[in-house]
Every structure is written in structure tokens, then in C-alpha cells.
Structure 1
């Protein structure tokens, strides 16, 4: 990341309470993770669905709809605006306990997002995507208002369809010799190499220390952010939209 981009990033940190440093672990480096001495049996299984139009109108306009089932927990939903400018969000929304504003930082790039969360009883996601289910009603009233304020033309609730599921294994721990809680996510795309992401979170005032410690940690374990640092959401959407049935030609 060049000097100009760093200065812009620091300006955009205003109003952002959390920063997540991320890296995708290349396939040829994954054996190095054994040195972290993590226990894979402590991982948590998730089933993730996204909702978008067949041409990904929402994603291309910075809006993400997601629903998730998590082992041993309630279902949850998210309406995400990415990128987002926190100061431009309505005050009522900024004060909501369900809003999470965060900056994601990867090699050479960053983005600020605003995610409005919702909780649903177990089984709600499966019911919504089943025959006769309602994707719109899966999301809370607060989320539906947020969506209405930011959705692009041609992408209403009756225009979106479920894309997924994708099985995710999540593991959070403090690796030996490292003081930061580390999250490892493995996103399993059927028939393809899983995407493996490592990340840590920090408050803005601790960003410099976090970056220094993070770089030292990954280098110590022989890890480098080589290759494309591909966003998990984009890869999932582009993977599943390939299997959406194409409309029959007219005439």
C-alpha cells in the first residue's frame, strides 16, 4: 500500500470502531499452519447463503444480503453496505446496537463496510429458502428499511434468489506465542480448492501495533499474502450464480 493510500485510509478510519487485518493463505503454504498448533476439532460449522439477482445487481452496487446457520446457535442475517461512509448513515442507524461498522485491510487495499445484523430462530433460513418461503420476511424490519434505502433499481425482494449454500469452518484461538485472537475461516466451494483466510481484529488506536505484530507472526510461520487476495463473498457469489438456470428464449 503506497503512502497516498495509507493517508487516505487513516482519514477513512474516522467513525470506524473496528479494523480487521486479513490475508488469504495460499494453497502451497497451508502445511505451515500446523506450526500454529490449532485444534481443528474446536472449529464451528456454518452454512451460508447469499441472495442476489442472476446478474449480481446487488453486489455490483455495493449491497450484500446474507443468511447463515451456525452449529449450536440461532440463525442470523446481514444486510451489508460495502463500501460505506459512516458519517453519511442516518443517526438512528448509527446508534443501532445491530449495526457493525468495520474496516477490512488486505494486502494493498482496504474497504469500510456497514453491516446491519439480525437474529432468527433456528430453522428460519431453511424455511425461507424452501418452497413457499419468504426471503424478505427472513430479514428484520430494521434490515428491510436499510435495504430499501440502498437497493439499486431492478433488485427488489422478488428479484433476488438464494445462492448457496457454502459450508464454512470457523476456528478462533490464540496461537502459541501470539497475543492476538486469530480467526481462521475455510470456505469450501464444491469441487474447488477451499479459500482459507486468517484475520485479527483491533481498534483503530491499536492498528500500528497490530500490523507490526501481524507481519512478524505470519513471517515467523512462513506465510505470505501471495497471489490474489480474493474476497470470500465475491468468490461465493460468482461460483453459485453459474448454476442459476438461464431463462428459456422467447419465440
Structure 2
């Protein structure tokens, strides 16, 4: 599986600054080692019963042809909310995107910054009906109908030739618990996501978004806050999407 994340070095700093300048937002992320999940929830004063339940599905070929080309196709069910779908390109360079795509109201560019590195993504999102995703993953409507004409054009421009959306395998679901709001002692909204994989493994991710101009200041403030709460930020970082794709294609190929 290809690695799109770039490490922080003196050589990549100009690249990072350029990406941030061209992005719509920056999301600062950190994943917590599994043995520290309970301690982290306690340290931040989080109540799991406040979490929103989500189901996340990915769509790709059994050999992950889309992922290898930097295309992520996803759909999501959200408790008491409408479903949504996403076509994501990763990595992207904002200045190199076509003008029509960059100006689309459905398309956003974001830099994800983790302790180990950074990556810039372009995401085109569409809102769906409350039961559309469930109908499609159960074969009662086509996968293609989860995506708008604009999303399908983006897919056709970037996916490998000859692979239609309706040809993709359903990879999922992953159950996700999401908490979003203010935490005592931190004046920015903190997002906590717990991804629960079918084999019993988990990824706990903490994140906060900010404007590009604030990125370095907010990164320092966030790291300082989490360190004061006793959180160890030095552990190996995990990618939610990568783990999901590897798990479900592994199970699919084993069958």
C-alpha cells in the first residue's frame, strides 16, 4: 500500500508551508496507543454515552487499485442524520488542481498534520437520504447512485481506467463513536473518534481543525494541552482508512 504522508524535515518544510497556504483548513490529528484509550477518555473527562454512532464503508478493488492511485471512495451512515458520500484525492497540491474543481462548493482542500508527518487531501462530499447507503451496500440500489454527477466526474478523471464505481467491492462497515465539543481547559473544539474494527482492534484519534494561518500556533497549544493531561503523544501513529482497507481486503481475499 502506498504511503502518501510526508515526514517533517528541513527539506519538506517549504512544501508544508505551501500546502497550508493553498488549503481551506488544517486538521491536527494524533492517535493514542490502544493500551491508553481508557486513561485518555478519563483524562479528558469524556462521556462515551454522548458519542454519535456512525457506520463507515469504503469501496475499492480487492487489490486496492484505487488506493494505490490516491483515490478514496467512501460512504457513511450517521445516527439521526442524513447519509453522506465522499470521493477523496490524496495527496494533492492545491495550486495544481483544475480551477473548476478548486472552485466547486462541494470540494475542500485540507492538510492533515500528525506527529509523524503531513498530507494534503482534496475531498468532494455529497449529502444523501437517511437510508441510501444501507440500500446500496445491501445491493438494493447501485453504488453509483450514492455519488453526484460532479463526484462521478472527479472519480472518472482520477480512478484507474476500466474500473467503474459499480464494480467496486464493499469494504466495511467500521463502527465509529464520535464525540465533538469543548473540553475543560482547552478553548477549541476537540473531536474524539473511536474506530472499532471487526477483529476487536481499535483506533482512538483526537483532532482539532483550524484556519491555515493559525496552524502552527494551534498545533503548539494543542500539544501542550494534551501533554498537561498526561497523554503520551510519542507512540506509533495509525491511519484509520489504511487499517480499514487492509482489514477488509484481507478478509475478502481470504474468502
Separation (CA, whole Å) in 1 of partners of 2:138 and 2:145: 13
Which blocks of at least 5 consecutive residues in structure 2 are unaligned? 1-7
Separation (CA, whole Å) in 2 of partners of 1:11 and 1:42: 38
* Alignment match, 1:81: 89
1:29 CA drift (Å):
2.3
TM-score, normalised on structure 2? 0.92
* Alignment match, 1:166: 174
1:132 CA drift (Å):
4.5
* Alignment match, 1:14: 21
* Alignment match, 1:204: 212
* Alignment match, 2:100: 92
Report if aligned partners of 1:38, 1:173 keep a CA contact under 8 Å in 2: no
* Alignment match, 1:155: 163
Q: 2:144 aligns with which of 131, 136, 140?
A: 136
User: Is 1:2 paired with 2:9?
Assistant: yes
Report if aligned partners of 2:177, 2:195 keep a CA contact under 8 Å in 1: yes
Which stretch of structure 1 is more off in the superposition, 149-158 or 56-65? Answer: 149-158
Report SS of the residue matched to 1:211: helix
User: Is 1:44 paired with 2:52?
Assistant: yes
Separation (CA, whole Å) in 2 of partners of 1:34 and 1:108: 25
Q: 2:43 aligns with which of 6, 29, 35?
A: 35
Report if aligned partners of 1:58, 1:64 keep a CA contact under 8 Å in 2: yes
Q: 1:194 aligns with which of 180, 202, 205?
A: 202
Report SS of the residue matched to 2:16: helix
Which blocks of at least 5 consecutive residues in structure 1 are unaligned? none
1:76 CA drift (Å):
0.3
TM-score, normalised on structure 1? 0.93
Q: Number of aligned pairs?
A: 247
